[in-house]
Amino acid sequence: MAQNTRDIRRRIKSVKNTQQITKAMKMVAAAKLRRAQERVEQARPYAGKMEEVIGSIASGSGSANHPMLVKRPVKKTGYVVLTTDRGLAGSFNAQIIRTVLNEVRGKSHNEYALFIVGRKGRDFFQRRGYPIVGETTGLSDSPTFADIKSIANDVVKLFQDGVYDEVILVYNQFINAITQVPVTRKLLPLEDVGGKQETVQPGVHTSKYEYEPSAEAVLDNLLPKYAETLIFSALLESKASEFGAKMTSMGAATDNASKMIGTLTLVLNRARQAAITTQIMEIVGGAEAQNQ
């Protein structure tokens, strides 16, 4: 019985140590989440303004037939998949991987290719022989545009060269710290860019711009940058979702540790009571044996 109580105390101590770690990880994830949310909010106006400018040029110059805007028959699809480098993020990576598997189900390896961001996604698809043509790992918790520029350039160039007929972006969209929704967004061709026309109020003067050397040349430069901006914005959303998922999972782990400590403490008290009862019975039995 003494050995049993020692084992229970050892388990309680071990769970308490784990609880301290998970609590600290929750606090770190919460601090990183706040910074990631700020970066997401800061990136949205830039992407929105670029879309507005591109839409204005495309609609005003008759450049809607630009190769990056034209939809063509899909023979091969490229998927840009955003996962994490590390685990302990609940179902964050699992739901992204599940979404990709649903997308490629029934397709042969000649009909699609994967561009993976994050070790978790890369390792999963690599072990199972899926066609990975590009990867980026080791990103910091505060990624910069330069971190994904190479893979973004590759994706845009391969689409422009006709290697892929469409490019799909798969990532977790940040809703709040508890909710992260897996999203599949068509990155290329850039559909609906310029489809939102601003309504001009009567009597409001609108300016007409001239482009140098031409509207088509400006569009040629802006469209690839816009596609890269969409990838970077998705990466920021993914990072915010990652920290939200980690904060939630570490909070749940801390709560579970508290429940486990309570259960083990109750077991320990029962074991001690049983040991005391056994000792009392042994003393009473010995006393009765001496009186006989």
Q: Are residues 163 and 283 in the same domain?
A: no
Tell whether 89 is covered by a domain.
yes
Q: Is residue 203 part of a domain?
A: no
> Is 277 in the same domain as 160?
no
CA distance 174 to 208: 38
Domain count, the chain: 2
For residues 238 and 103, membership in a common domain is answered with: yes
pLDDT over 90, % of the chain: 43
- Domain of residue 130 covers 32-198+210-248
Are residues 130 and 240 part of one domain? yes
pLDDT at position 60: 62
Q: Which two tokens stand for residue 7?
A: 């084992």
Residue 164, classed as helix, strand or coil, is coil
Q: Using an 8 Å Cβ cutoff, are 206 and 200 in contact?
A: yes
Nearest to 242 by CA among 191, 160, 174, 193: 174
User: Sign of dihedral through CA atoms 217, 220, 222, 223?
Assistant: positive
pTM tops 0.75: yes
CATH code at 276? 1.10.287.80
Q: Assess whether pLDDT exceeds 70 at residue 199.
A: no
Quick one: average pLDDT of 250-275? Answer: 91
Instruction: Looking at the structure, tell me whether residues 109 and 153 fall in a common domain.
Output: yes
Give me the CATH number covering residue 136.
3.40.1380.10
Mean pLDDT for the stretch of residues 251-271: 92
**Co-location of 214 and 286 in the same domain:** no
Helix 2-61 to helix 215-291 angle (10° resolution) is 170
- Alpha carbon 76 to its chain's center: 25
Residue at 164 is within a domain: yes
Would you say residue 237 has pLDDT above 50? Answer: yes
Rounded CA separation 165/189 (Å): 8
Same domain, 58 and 153: yes
User: Same domain, yes or no, for 17 and 50?
Assistant: no
Confidence of residue 93 (pLDDT cuts 50, 70, 90): very high
